[in-house]
């Protein structure tokens, strides 16, 4: 009787539908658990509200005192409605991208393949995440304890004034931030492999024909024990999930700050844009006219430098009036105004939040997959 001596665990094959359902349920559970700390994070990152709070606990108590418990859950309807799509798409697309890289379904993916699949997942899901988080952030930034506009009302107002482009403000930074799913899944899988206990040593199996039945039963028992040890305990799963969340946030948090600042502020107004273009055109025409009348000889250099000066001035005015107009202007103006520390504002509540959120995410996901796989 031949016995496989390989101790390398084989990955479980999960149907995409099970991936989707498990991701959806785990996402809804995690969203409910971590949303209050997400609201605090947004308040710290938003330049209009960051000066109001000094500590995570102080922000929590201030929001509860001024806006009641409901203030901690402002804007939760938008991500909750999209939760089925976002989290189902995360686990579903991750599984599909992983299968595309494997030559054989039984192959154990490398950490590099896991990272690539996770990063691709983030880019795909950003199409849904961007408008969802923009609406959520606009609601979370509202300090009034009175009625908060619904997610539909906020979305309709943005679409009416700025069209589809307004709903996708910050799409670049959203995609960059969500590439952290690569770090997320890589850390989770790497931690699981590191924490996976070794299977018990195999007993020597005789080939004596008189004891064949006994050894056949013994071999089956060994296989069952190894299957049990190929899965991690709940404690190890929760540790792996919490560590995955912490690592992904530490790496991409500065991008998340820029994203929040862009999405919390209005996009460049059309009226001001047209007015500014008109002002710049008039200034350029005036500079050229002045250069042509100041001397009988043409002075192209003077006209060129005047035009460049007007362009620089108009660009500086635009950035000054709308410091969070683009990804680059948001980065430059944030750094100039508040230094490098600004890119880590709200990190404390985020790291605190990431531990229970990701523990719940992976814990519930594994539970659902286990139940549906039976």
Query: Could you tell me the residue ranges of all domains in the chain?
Result: 16-195+228-267+320-373
- Across 124-149, b (16+ Cβ under 10 Å) vs e yields bbbeebbbbbbbbbbbbbbeeeeebe
Distances (CA, A) of 241 to 91, 189, 244, 286, 359: 14, 9, 5, 63, 5
**pLDDT at residue 303 is higher than 60:** no
Euclidean distance between CA atoms 111 and 117, whole angstroms? 10
pLDDT at 2 over 50: no
pLDDT value at residue 343:
94
Measured CA to CA, the distance from residue 192 to residue 115 in angstroms comes to: 15
Prediction pTM value: 0.71
The pLDDT of residue 82: 87
User: 214 pLDDT exceeds 80?
Assistant: no
Give the per-residue pLDDT at 159: 94
Q: Is the dihedral of CA 314, 315, 321, 325 positive or negative?
A: positive
pLDDT tier, 16 (very low <50, low <70, confident <90, very high otherwise): low
Average confidence score pLDDT of the chain: 76
Residue 147 reports pLDDT greater than 50: yes
Provide the 8-state DSSP code for 148: P
Mean pLDDT over residues 249-269, rounded? Answer: 88
Rounded to an integer, what distance in angstroms lies between the CA atom of residue 226 and that of residue 317?
67
C-alpha span between 318 and 208 (Å, rounded): 87
H helix count then E strand count, the chain: 14, 0
Q: Report the C-alpha gap between 190 and 115 in whole angstroms.
A: 11
Residue 37 to residue 14: CA distance in whole angstroms:
32
Q: What's 16-195+228-267+320-373's CATH class?
A: mainly alpha
pLDDT of residue 83: 83
The confidence band for 169, taking pLDDT boundaries of 50, 70 and 90, is very high
pLDDT for residue 225 = 33
Separation of alpha carbons 348 and 366, rounded Å: 28
């Amino acid at each position: 009787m031949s016995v496989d001596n390989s101790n390398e665990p084989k990955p479980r094959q999960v149907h995409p539908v099970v991936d989707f359902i498990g991701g959806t349920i785990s996402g809804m559970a995690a969203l409910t658990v971590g949303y209050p700390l997400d609201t605090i994070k947004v308040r710290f990152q938003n330049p209009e509200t960051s000066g109001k709070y000094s500590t995570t606990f102080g922000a929590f108590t201030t929001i509860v005192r001024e806006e009641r418990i409901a203030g901690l859950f402002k804007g939760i309807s938008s991500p909750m409605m999209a939760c089925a799509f976002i989290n189902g798409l995360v686990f579903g697309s991750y599984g599909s991208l992983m299968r595309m890289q494997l030559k054989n379904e039984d192959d154990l993916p490398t950490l590099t393949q896991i990272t690539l699949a996770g990063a691709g997942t983030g880019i795909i899901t950003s199409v849904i995440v961007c408008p969802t988080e923009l609406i959520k952030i606009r609601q979370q930034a509202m300090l009034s304890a009175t009625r908060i506009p619904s997610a539909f009302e906020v979305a309709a107002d943005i679409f009416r004034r700025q069209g589809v482009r307004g709903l996708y403000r910050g799409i670049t930074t959203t995609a960059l931030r969500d590439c952290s799913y690569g770090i997320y899944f890589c850390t989770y899988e790497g931690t699981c492999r590191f924490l996976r206990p070794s299977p018990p040593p195999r007993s020597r199996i005789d080939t004596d024909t008189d004891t064949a039945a006994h050894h056949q039963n013994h071999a089956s028992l060994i296989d069952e024990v190894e299957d049990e040890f190929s899965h991690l305990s709940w404690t190890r799963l929760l540790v792996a999930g919490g560590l995955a969340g912490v690592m992904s946030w530490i790496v991409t948090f500065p991008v998340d700050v820029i994203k929040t600042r862009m999405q919390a502020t209005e996009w460049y107004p059309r009226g001001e844009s047209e007015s500014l273009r008109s002002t710049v055109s008039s200034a350029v025409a005036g500079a050229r006219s002045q250069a042509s009348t100041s001397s009988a000889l043409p002075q192209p250099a003077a006209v060129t430098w005047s035009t460049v000066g007007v362009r620089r001035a108009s660009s500086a005015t635009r950035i000054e009036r709308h410091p969070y107009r683009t990804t680059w202007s948001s980065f430059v103006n944030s750094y100039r105004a508040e230094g490098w520390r600004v890119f880590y504002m709200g990190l404390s509540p985020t790291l605190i939040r990431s531990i229970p959120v990701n523990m719940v995410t992976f814990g519930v996901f594994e539970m659902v997959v286990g139940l549906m796989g039976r």
